[in-house]
Amino acid sequence: MTEILILGEQANGDLNSLSKELLAAADSISDNISIAFLGNDNRSVAEDAIRYGASKVYLLQSKLLNDWSVDTRVAAYEHLLGKISPSVILLGKTQIGQDIGPRLACRLGVGLSQDSISIALDPKTMRPVATRPVLGGRMIAKVSFAEDGPNIIVIRKGSYDINKPNDNNEGDIQEITFHVEQSDKNIHHIQTILSDPGGVKLENAPVIVAGGRGLGGPEPFEMLSDLAKLLGGSVGASRAACDAGWIDHNYQIGLTGKNVSPALYITVGISGASQHMAGCSGAKFIVAINKDPDANIFKEASLGAVGDWEKILPSFISTVKDLLET
Partner 1 sequence: MKIDITVFVKQVVDPDAPISSFHIDPTSKQLSIKPDTPFIINGFDETAVEAALRLKDSVGANITVVSLGYNFVMDVIKKPLSMGADNLILLQDAAFQNLDSFTTAKILSKAVSTIGNTDLFICGRQASDWDNAQVPLVLSELLGLPCLTIAKNIRIDNNTVEIEKVLPEGHEVIQAKLPAIVTVSNELGEPRYATLRGIMSAGRKTPSIYTAKDLNIDTADLSPKLIIEEISVPNSDKKCEMLSGDNSIEIGRKLALKLRESRIF
Select 20 or 239, whichever has its Cβ closest to partner 1.
239
Tell me, residue by residue from 133 to 152, as one string, x for binding to partner 1 by CB under 8 A and - for no binding: xxxxxxxxxxxxxxx-----
315 touches partner 1 by CB under 8 A: yes
Residues 81-100 that bind partner 1 (CB under 8 A): 95, 98-99
Select 50 or 153, whichever has its Cβ closest to partner 1.
153
d(CA 170, CA 287): 45
- The pair phi, psi for residue 187, each rounded to 5°, is -120, 130
43 touches partner 1 by CB under 8 A: no
Q: Which amino acid type is present at position 113?
A: S
63 touches partner 1 by CB under 8 A: no
Least distance between partner 1 and beta carbon 266 (Å): 9
Number of residues that bind partner 1 (CB under 8 A): 84
211 touches partner 1 by CB under 8 A: no
113 touches partner 1 by CB under 8 A: yes
Least distance between partner 1 and beta carbon 206 (Å): 9
What letter would DSSP give residue 311? Answer: H
Beta strands in 47-117 (DSSP E): 56-62, 88-92, 112-116
d(CA 101, CA 7): 10
Least distance between partner 1 and beta carbon 286 (Å): 8
As to burial, measured by CB atoms within 10 angstroms (0-12 exposed, 13-18 middle, 19+ buried), residue 203 is middle
Q: Please tell me whether residue 269 adopts helix, strand or coil conformation.
A: coil
Stretch that binds partner 1, among 39-47, 81-89, 105-113, 157-165 (CB under 8 A): 105-113
320 touches partner 1 by CB under 8 A: yes
Q: Please tell me whether residue 100 adopts helix, strand or coil conformation.
A: helix
Q: Please tell me whether residue 286 adopts helix, strand or coil conformation.
A: strand
304 touches partner 1 by CB under 8 A: yes
11 touches partner 1 by CB under 8 A: no
Question: Pick from 12, 168, 183, 192: which binds partner 1 (CB under 8 A)?
Answer: 192
As to burial, measured by CB atoms within 10 angstroms (0-12 exposed, 13-18 middle, 19+ buried), residue 284 is exposed
Q: Please tell me whether residue 320 adopts helix, strand or coil conformation.
A: helix
Least distance between partner 1 and beta carbon 120 (Å): 11
Least distance between partner 1 and beta carbon 300 (Å): 6
Select 1 or 135, whichever has its Cβ closest to partner 1.
135
Select 90 or 110, whichever has its Cβ closest to partner 1.
110
Least distance between partner 1 and beta carbon 82 (Å): 16
31 touches partner 1 by CB under 8 A: no
Question: Pick from 7, 275, 283, 290: which binds partner 1 (CB under 8 A)?
Answer: 275
179 touches partner 1 by CB under 8 A: no
Tell me, residue by residue from 232 to 271, as one string, x for binding to partner 1 by CB under 8 A and - for no binding: -------x--xx-----xx----xx-x----xx-------
Q: What b-and-e string marks burial along 70-90, b requiring 16 or more CB atoms within 10 Å of the CB?
A: bbbbbbbbebbbeeeebbbbb
7 touches partner 1 by CB under 8 A: no
187 touches partner 1 by CB under 8 A: yes
DSSP-derived secondary structure for 195-261: ----SS-GGG-SEEEEE-GGG-SSTHHHHHHHHHHHTT-EEEE-HHHHHTTSS-GGGBBSTTSB---
129 touches partner 1 by CB under 8 A: yes
Q: What b-and-e string marks burial along 159-192, b requiring 16 or more CB atoms within 10 Å of the CB?
A: bbeebeeeeeeebebeebebebeeeebeeeeeee
Pairing relationship of beta strands 151-155 and 112-116 according to DSSP bridges: parallel
